[in-house]
Amino acid sequence: MAKVTGRRAFLGWMLWSSAAWASDKTSLSEDASALYTGSIGHRQPAVSEEIRLWPDAPPGGGGPEGAPHVGHHGAVSHIATPVMRMVLPERPNGTSVLIAAGGGYRFEEIEKEAMAGADWLTARGVTAFVLTYRLPGEGWLAGPKAPLQDAARAMRLIRSRARSLSLDPDRIGCMGFSAGGHLMGMLATRFDERLYPPQDAADSLSARPDFAILAYPVITLKPPYDHTSTRKQLIGSHPSAKETAEWSVETHVKKGDPPFFLVQAKDDPISNIENSMIMRAALKKAGVPVKLEIMDKGGHGFAMGKGHDGHVTWTPMLETWMRSNDLL
């Protein structure tokens, strides 16, 4: 497994994968090589390593073939092989986080959201695992379960390696943005479901995250908040009431779920602020600890603070919350 440094290492690896699929040659263009080795800008203390999620084909089969498609800003789609990238900090503190980017389940904002999250976490000693999950609209026979299968498998793989990586098995959390927040919300509430046939010894371990961080998440797929790409990609334009409930995160909240940190802006044009309000109410009703930070402005997609209309300050509150829960 190749190890590379820098925040843009993941994007560089994706470019390398595309080049490898397109040609038998293994040489990279100058720009792609610089991205892969982490030599373009950005802080470079971390080491990154790719981990395939499944020993063979993902459960159910289907899906695209060939290289992933990578957009100009690092958005990824056409994902034939789900993976996660382990990003190690200079001084690991034992906490680890599985990160899922958003993109409405049509693509994944790996560079803008997931790698930004990994950068912020590793700077504070947290080991990050950046997930590239299957997209339900790309022909997977598992349908809407495909990304959740990947998330559950990733969590179990992290837990199976905790001792060898000197990670605390009781401090393995998850972080998600937008549709990635929906996915991590599902993982944090449906962790005890049997989503796929066991593959190996790792699948005997718990898929429950020990904490969940959701930024501008899509939570509910119910009216009147059902005009999202998340709903369309997962269950179509005319889902049944049963399907809508099954794929709304709040439906699955229960006692014993991990503590949640939620952040969302009042002026979010894509995921209505009511998504976080609904989730907070469901968690409080179940007796699950929850912290919700509501921003007056910020829109959607502000990641770790860089929004469309300027900087959105929310990470100091996250850091305080993590410290109060002995995660930093």
Give the per-residue SS3 of 11-42.
HHHHHHHHHHHHCCCCCCCHHHHHHHHCCCCC
Mean pLDDT, rounded, for 217-237: 95
- Exposure string of 104-119, with b = 16+ CB inside 10 Å and e = fewer, is bbbbbbbbbbbbbbbb
Residue 82 lies in a domain: yes
Q: Judge if pTM exceeds 0.95.
A: no
Residue 128 lies in a domain: yes
How many C-beta atoms lie closer than 10 Å to residue 318's C-beta? Answer: 21
Q: Which tokens hold the place of 242?
A: 């049963």
Q: Which tokens hold the place of 248?
A: 């709304």
Amino acid at position 271, single letter: S
Residue 162 lies in a domain: yes
Beta bridge partners of 50: 85
Residue 26 lies in a domain: no
Amino acid at position 59, single letter: P
pLDDT per residue as tens digits for the range 85-100 = 999 999 999 999 999 9
The domain spanning residue 316 has which CATH number?
3.40.50.1820
> For the chain, where are the E strands, in sequence order?
3-5, 47-52, 69-70, 75-77, 83-88, 96-100, 108-109, 127-132, 172-177, 212-215, 260-265, 290-295, 306-307, 310-311
Pairing of strands 96-100, 127-132: parallel
pLDDT band at 47 (very low <50, low <70, confident <90, very high): low
pLDDT band at 13 (very low <50, low <70, confident <90, very high): very low
Quote the pLDDT of residue 312: 81
Burial class from Cβ neighbours inside 10 Å (0-12, 13-18, 19+) for residue 245 reads: middle
Residue 35 lies in a domain: no
Q: How far apart are CA 254 and CA 267, in angstroms?
A: 29
Residue 217 lies in a domain: yes
Residue 1 lies in a domain: no
pLDDT per residue as tens digits for the range 185-225 = 999 999 999 999 999 999 999 999 999 999 999 999 999 99
Domains of the chain: total = 1
Range of the structural domain that residue 239 is part of: 47-324
Residue 18 lies in a domain: no
- Exposure string of 197-233, with b = 16+ CB inside 10 Å and e = fewer, is eebeebbeeebbbbbbbbbbbbbbbbeebbebbbbbb
DSSP-assigned letters across all residues of 75-106: EEE--SS-EEEEEE-SS--S-EEEEE--STTT
pLDDT per residue as tens digits for the range 302-314 = 999 876 666 788 9
